[in-house]
Amino acid sequence: MKIEELKVIVTGGANGMGRTFVIELARAGADVLAFDMNEQQLASLGEETQDLPGRVATFTGNVSREDDVKACVEACANAFGQVNALINNAGIFKDGLLVKRDRTTGKVLRMSLADWQAVIDVDLTGPFLCTREVAAHMVEHNTTPGVIINISSVSRHGNQGQSNYSAAKAGLVADTKLWGEELARYGIRVGAVAPGFIDTPILQAMRPEVLEAMVSRVPLRRVGAPVEIYQAIKFIVECEYFTGRCIDVDGGVTL
């Protein structure tokens, strides 16, 4: 597929990597709907992209809510005439050890079920809902070929303090493989990108010594830029023989 042929939903599109994806896609001529909960940032994104070659629309909602996802797909179809692509980028962190002993009281603390479920809801159930609805739309309305891209993480291999996040991102790569197999018969390809440490507001908010320790583990000795993740997205879109696989863009780091 060509980038300019895309009528694409980008979840988590108002901030961080998602915002870069929206801007770069629209700059290349794609029509993009940014799906996010942050109405203020969506408004500023609309202003920033109004003069780009591709059209940009916005939708305020939560990817873990089935009704919001269905309404978003409908909004994209109404705005651009169809939906033929999806980037599952929305994600949250609620890090914590599975169990730990409090150094002061000696009490054993546990990762809460609420923190586990919140991350699973957004980072795994969200992509399931979005992929299901976009794929169903493409099949029902015959808007294929189509492409779906899941944003996983280097943490999918298991990162201490991220039981919930690692499980979600590993599950997303497993789903990439099986969705690629299930949807190929309809002309829909599914790929994944697993970023390492990327220069986003989350990393920018870290204490300098913590960030330095992280970067020291990366063979290239730097964090990645969001546009470098976009380059992997562009490859998946344009390479018609790519499906069911995950591309690691992590500077060679091993967790």
Sign of CA dihedral 242, 236, 127, 204: positive
- Give the span between the Cα atoms of 169 and 158, in whole angstroms: 9
- Give the span between the Cα atoms of 252 and 154, in whole angstroms: 10
First to last CA, the chain: 34
Question: Could you say which of 165, 186, 230, 241 is catalytic?
Answer: 165
Placement of tokens 């940009």 in the chain: 56
- Give the span between the Cα atoms of 90 and 7, in whole angstroms: 18
* The token pair that represents 156 in the structure block: 């999918």
How many other CB atoms are found less than 10 A from the CB of residue 163?
18
The H or E element spanning position 140 is: helix 126-141
Cα-Cα-Cα-Cα torsion 194, 189, 70, 162, nearest 10 degrees, comes to -20
Give phi and psi for 244, each to the nearest 5.
70, 15
230 is catalytic: no
Active-site positions read: 165
